[in-house]
A = this chain, B = another copy of it.
Amino acid sequence: MSHPLLDLAPLSAEHFASIERRIGAVLRTDADVIVMQGEALLPLEGCIRGAARPGSTALNVITGPYGQTFGGWLRDSGANVIDIEVPYHTSASAEAVRRALAEHPETELVSLVHAEAATGNTNPVGPIGAVVREHGALLMLDAVASVAAEPLETDRWGVDLCVIGAQKAMGGPAGVSAVSVSERAWERIRTNPNAPRRSYLSLLDWKERWIDTGRTALPHAPAQLEMLALEACVRRIEENGGLDSSIARHRATAAAMRAGAEALTGQGGEGLRPYVTDARDAAPVATTLRAPDSLDARELVTAALAAAPPNSRALPLAAGGGALGREMIRVNHYGPDATPGTVVRVLTALAEALNAAGVRADLDAASTAAESAWSGPAE
């Protein structure tokens, strides 16, 4: 009995390698690219456990929850961890990284998240990369929430370990992910006695068994369907105007969402405000909003989701995680949700929830502002 998901001819090593080449182009890198057989957490953990030697010093730039996770892995690996915690309403700066590196010249590794879907900010990887490269440390970047939503220049920015997944702006599968590894990074991992070896977490295994043998025999059976879906989503991006077009669409969505939210309750007084204060720090994949002081964001979100038509397509709206739950509203406008429609639906639901809570919201003004921001210059 035939089923479209069963009995496919095995994915050949050549085909697998061709997908890796396509991902290399997405990452804008000539370095080794490995498509790892698991969610992006797998290569992220593999990078940190591979690159952080016991007793070494790592600078961990925290701009959201993933930075916390990285810190855990770094400490687990025996590294001395210098955390730079950046308030979630802003972004990391090259200057702060420079200062930290000056204070801790022994730093060998800097870990950074590009864009944070959870907190809605995005970091200036280019300038930070230049500082790190000048200092000589390795730079690991989590670009899961930025790839295809904003420019990502792995090689030009000097990113040594760049990790992506396809499940956000690329509109692809979550079950496989990718990492690029620079020569400097390989050198570090190779000389780290504690780097995972003979392990599902090991990048070195892939280096030795896959890359160094000419990518001719896969180390184990791959997640074939996820690989095909990854290829299909890259192809779809190419056929719809390429990465630039995807980036422009996400940027326009973010601009519209921000402008609409700002116009919803007007200036002054007790309204909704962008959580990330400066628009230049705001991520194109997600917009975070600060709930009015009088209201609990969780209740507002619950009311907005209830106000929203119970669609088959859910409203991409959530309260902030953990301690942010009381004050932060998140709108995840990526992939199929990076559209004017999502912006309007979210504004409509928020307006209703605000009005019901006694905070006057002007949906017409918000819609007009959103529309004008969408069409406007995508700066």
Binding site for B on A (CB under 8 A): 1-11, 15, 37-39, 41-42, 45, 69, 72-73, 76, 167, 171-176, 198-201, 220-226, 228-229, 232-233, 236, 239-240, 309-313, 336-337, 339-342, 344-345, 348
Contacts and interface: CB of A to CB of B under 8 A. Distances in A.
A200 B229 CA distance: 22
Nearest to A4: B4
Contact of A336 (B7, B39, B240, B348): B7
A313 B311 CA distance: 9
19 contacts: A2-B9, A4-B4, A4-B228, A5-B229, A6-B233, A7-B9, A37-B175, A38-B223, A39-B220, A41-B220, A42-B200, A73-B199, A174-B223, A175-B176, A309-B348, A311-B345, A312-B313, A312-B336, A313-B313
Contacts of A175: 37, 175-176, 221-226
Q: What secondary structure prevails in chain A residues at the interface with B?
A: loop
Given A38-B42, A311-B341, 15 more contacts: A1-B15, A1-B240, A2-B9, A2-B10, A5-B228, A6-B173, A6-B236, A39-B222, A73-B198, A173-B225, A175-B176, A199-B201, A310-B340, A312-B337, A313-B313
A91 to B, nearest CB: 25
User: How many copies altogether?
Assistant: 4
Contact of A2 (B38, B173, B228): B228
B232 A5 contact: yes
